[in-house]
Structure formats: structure tokens, C-alpha cells
């Protein structure tokens, strides 16, 4: 499998997954599928049979899964579903014409089309998820005329759900408080972009958006109706891995306002069973934290020994399932029992696709 074309595409895809600090797990999973499609269409001349292409796609998929452990649940699910679809399509071709020999270029095109269909289904999945959230919000609005929502960071899933709510619920009146989400301030970016988009469509008249520092979480949580959280990973126990600051926000929501803590997520974020601590923390560039400090403080800090003084920049943390009120998904509203069942099913699918030899090859190369 030494073709320069598909190897370069794979390496670029791995690099993109590792270095993307802007997008959430959903976008990264879709990017992984796009990488797999490009590998299919550009696989080198050393790939001469459908069987060799299948082995290449499984190996490439496993390498993409390993690229970003904190996002691997969504990436794994997207790739596993895609590989299953490819496998089923090939089985149908074989059963329809058992003695036919399919030319590799034709097979590659069929596989690429299957991957495209999987990407399309992901978009349809987002539509179903948004509708499930709108129904939840519609029910809440039978009890009050205005809702106060707290969120943080920048989830494309939450953005889409709120946008759908504004589009479908005529005259929706709400306040959205967004924690700015240091150190990259993506919460502020989310807030500005959301309100700007609504205003540009003439639909922001009853929407107030407030940005608050992360340290204000307890104060702002006192008056909210719900806390909306995305998810980068969900454990088999229903614990949720999300942007740092999510756990204190959930504790504040539960204890100070008795608000619902609503996790908005596609089910591809559900990981196979395993200890949550095994899913690695990302300690990122400390300069993101201290770049906003006074210059004289930075100068003194740099004179200190690294063994005595450290600047932490961990992006993700776990929210225990007891702090989660519900999981709103493309399959409707789920509870922890449903999460556990889906996690176990996912483990079976992964083990069927990724043999020990595939895993060993991915680790060695």
C-alpha cells in the first residue's frame, strides 16, 4: 500500500483531525468521511482488487480514529457506519452477479458514491435532531412565554438546533447567555455569529444574546430554564465529555435554578464501553492562556522554572450522567439506559470491522 497519492491524502486527513481546534466532533467526523472518499478515488496502482481496497479503507479508517482520541467516538461511529454501508453494497453486487468480475475503477466509483450517501445521511440526521429539539422547546413554551438558555463553547449542533427553533416557532422569545469559553473565546464567536445570522434573516427581534465570562457561570445560571451542552463523547454510562467549563455549568444549573441540563447530540458520539479516564485529556498550547496576560507578568513567568510553575490548557472534561436531564438526539429523547445499549452495540460493530491485524498495522505504520 505504498501509493503516494492515497498515503498523502491520509496523512493530510490525520493532520487536519489533530490540528483542528475550532470545529467540534461532528464536523471532524464528516471530514474523516471526506478523507476516506478521497482515498478511495485516489488509491494508487498498488491497489489492484476490491479486496485490497477494502483492506486499505479499514486500515485508513483505523488510523483516522487514532488521530484524535478526544474526538474518536464520533469519528469511529461515522467511519464504522460508512464501512458497514460499503460492505453491504459490495455484498449486494456480489449476490446480484455472483460470477461477474467488477472492474476496479467501477468498484471505486461505487464505493465513493456510498461514502457520499453516508455524508448526506449525516446531514439528514442533523435535521431530525433539530426537529427533536424544537419539539422539546415547543413543550416548554406551553408553560412560559420566554425562555432563558445557557450554553458555552461553539457547537455546530446547538447552532443548528437554535436556528431551527427560530425558524419553526413563530414569535419565539428567548434570551441566550453564552459563556465566552476561554482561552479561544469560541463562545463569543458563537454568540456573535448566531445573532448576526438571525438578524440578517429578519428573525432576531425577540432574541437577546448575552456573552458572559466563564467565571460568571453561577450568577447567570440562577435565572435559566435550561443549559444546552454539546458532546464530543458519551460514555456507556451516559457521562458526557465536552468543553471545559461544562461540568461547573451543569452543577450550577442543577443546584441554583433546577434547570434541565440538555445534551444535544447525535448518537454517533456514543463510545463503546470503557473507563472514561481512558479517553485522553488534551493539554494544549499554554500560550493560548497567557497571551492575554500583562506583558510584565509574562516576562516574570518566563524567568521561572517550568518545574515550579505551570500553565494548564485542557480543553475537555467529563460531566457525570447524574447531572444530565436528557439526551436529545436524531432518534428522539434518550435516557442513560438507551445510551448503554447503543454503546454495547457499537463495540460489537467495531470488533467485527477492525481485526487485530488491522489495529496492529495501524499502530506500526
> Which range (64-73, 153-162, 316-325) has the least confidence?
64-73
Assess whether 85 and 196 both reside in one domain. Answer: no
Are 180 and 313 members of one domain? Answer: yes
Query: 53: Cβ–Cβ under 8 A, 6 or more apart, which residues?
Result: 40, 43, 47, 104, 107, 108, 111
Question: What average pLDDT is seen over the chain?
Answer: 91
Domain membership flag for residue 310: yes
Q: Parallel, antiparallel, or unpaired for β 316-319 and 226-229?
A: unpaired
56 shares a domain with 140: no
| Residues 189 and 313 grouped into a single domain | yes
Nearest-angstrom CA–CA distance, 214 and 362: 40
How does residue 170 score in pLDDT terms, banded at 50, 70 and 90? Answer: confident
Consecutive H or E run containing 228: strand 226-229
7-56: pLDDT as tens digits: 999 999 999 999 998 787 888 999 999 999 999 999 877 788 999 999 99
Domain extent, residue 10, equals: 6-124+349-363
Q: Does residue 43 contact residue 105 with C-beta atoms inside 8 Å? A: no
In a domain, 292, yes or no: no
**Within this chain, do residues 107 and 139 fall inside the same structural domain, yes or no?**
no
Residue 3 has pLDDT above 50, yes or no: no
Q: Cα(228)–Cα(264) distance, rounded to whole angstroms?
A: 7
Residue 183 lies in a domain: yes
258-to-145, 149, 227, 324 alpha-carbon distances in Å:
18, 13, 10, 12
Flag the least confident range among 82-91, 194-203, 275-284.
Answer: 275-284
1 within domain boundaries: no
pLDDT tops 70 at residue 277: no
Q: Are 15 and 32 in contact (CB under 8 A)?
A: no
Examine residue 219 and state whether it is found in any structural domain, yes or no.
Answer: yes
Question: What number is the average pLDDT over the span 215-228?
Answer: 98
321 belongs to a structural domain? yes
190 and 337, same domain (yes or no) = yes
pLDDT at position 134 is 97
Output 24 or 351, whichever has higher pLDDT: 351
Give whole-number Cα distances, 121 to 81, 85, 179, in Å: 11, 12, 32
Share of the chain above pLDDT 90, in %: 74
39 or 71, greater pLDDT: 39
Q: Both 45 and 175 in a single domain?
A: no
What integer is the mean pLDDT of 77-93? 90
Q: Phi-psi bin for 112: left (phi > 0), alpha (psi -120 to 50), beta?
A: alpha
Closest by CA position to 38, among listed 94, 102, 119:
119
Q: What is the pTM of this model?
A: 0.83
The confidence score (pLDDT) of residue 280 equals: 52
The lowest-confidence range among 143-147, 221-225, 259-263, 322-326 is 143-147
Is there a domain that residue 79 lies in? yes
Say whether both 87 and 143 belong to one domain.
no
329 neighbors 265 (Cβ within 8 angstroms): yes
pLDDT by residue (tens digit) across 242-265? 999 999 999 999 999 999 999 999
pLDDT at 148: 98
Residue 302 CA neighbour count, 13 Å, CB half: 10
pLDDT interval class at 358 (50, 70, 90): confident
Residue 176 lies in a domain: yes
Q: Return the CATH number at 84.
A: 1.20.120.420
Which 8-state DSSP code applies to residue 270? Answer: B
Give the number of domains in the chain: 2
Q: Does one domain contain both 108 and 226? A: no
Where residue 318 sits, what CATH number does that domain have? 3.40.50.10470
Burial class (CB in 10 A: 0-12, 13-18, 19+), 157: buried
Calculate mean pLDDT across residues 285-299: 96
110 and 158 both lie in a single domain: no
Residues 155 and 146 sit within 8 Å (Cβ to Cβ): no
Q: Is 358 exposed, middle or buried (0-12, 13-18, 19+ CB in 10 A)?
A: middle
Element of type H or E holding 16: helix 4-19
Q: Are residues 83 and 113 in the same domain?
A: yes
CA dist., res. 361 & res. 365, Å (int): 6
- 93 and 16 together in one domain: yes
Amino acid at each position: 500500500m505504498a501509493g503516494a497519492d492515497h498515503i498523502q491524502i491520509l496523512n493530510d486527513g490525520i493532520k487536519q483531525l489533530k490540528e483542528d481546534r475550532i470545529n467540534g466532533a461532528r464536523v471532524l467526523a464528516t471530514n474523516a468521511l471526506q478523507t476516506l472518499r478521497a482515498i478511495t478515488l485516489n488509491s494508487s496502482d498498488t491497489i489492484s482488487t476490491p479486496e485490497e481496497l477494502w483492506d486499505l479503507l479499514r486500515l485508513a479508517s483505523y488510523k483516522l480514529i487514532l488521530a484524535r482520541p478526544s474526538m474518536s467516538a464520533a469519528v469511529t461511529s461515522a467511519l464504522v457506519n460508512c464501512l458497514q454501508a460499503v460492505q453491504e453494497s459490495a455484498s449486494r453486487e456480489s449476490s446480484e452477479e455472483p460470477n461477474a468480475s467488477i472492474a476496479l475503477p467501477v468498484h471505486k466509483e461505487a464505493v465513493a458514491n456510498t461514502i457520499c450517501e453516508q455524508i448526506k445521511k449525516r446531514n439528514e440526521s442533523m435535521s431530525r435532531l433539530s426537529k427533536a429539539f424544537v419539539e422539546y422547546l415547543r413543550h416548554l413554551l406551553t408553560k412560559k412565554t420566554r425562555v432563558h438558555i445557557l450554553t458555552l463553547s461553539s457547537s455546530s449542533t446547538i447552532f443548528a438546533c437554535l436556528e431551527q427553533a427560530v425558524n419553526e416557532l413563530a414569535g419565539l422569545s428567548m434570551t441566550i447567555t453564552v459563556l465566552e469559553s476561554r482561552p479561544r473565546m469560541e463562545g463569543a464567536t458563537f454568540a456573535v455569529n448566531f445573532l448576526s445570522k438571525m438578524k440578517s434573516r429578519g428573525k432576531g427581534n425577540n432574541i437577546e444574546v448575552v456573552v458572559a465570562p466563564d467565571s460568571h457561570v453561577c450568577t447567570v445560571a440562577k435565572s435559566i430554564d435550561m443549559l444546552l451542552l454539546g458532546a464530543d463523547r458519551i460514555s456507556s454510562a451516559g457521562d458526557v465529555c465536552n468543553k471545559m467549563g461544562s461540568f461547573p455549568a451543569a452543577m450550577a444549573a442543577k443546584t441554583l435554578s433546577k434547570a434541565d441540563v440538555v445534551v444535544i447530540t447525535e448518537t454517533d458520539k456514543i463510545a463503546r464501553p470503557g473507563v472514561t479516564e481512558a479517553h485522553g485529556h488534551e493539554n494544549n498550547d499554554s500560550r493560548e492562556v497567557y497571551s492575554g496576560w500583562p506583558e510584565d507578568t509574562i516576562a516574570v513567568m518566563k524567568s521561572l522554572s517550568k518545574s515550579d510553575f505551570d500553565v494548564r490548557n485542557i480543553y475537555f472534561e467529563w460531566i457525570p450522567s447524574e447531572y444530565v436531564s436528557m439526551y436529545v438526539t436524531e432518534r428522539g429523547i434518550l435516557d442513560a439506559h438507551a445510551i448503554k445499549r447503543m454503546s454495547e452495540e457499537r463495540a460489537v460493530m467495531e470488533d467485527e470491522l477492525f481485526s487485530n491485524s488491522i489495529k496492529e498495522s495501524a499502530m506500526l505504520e
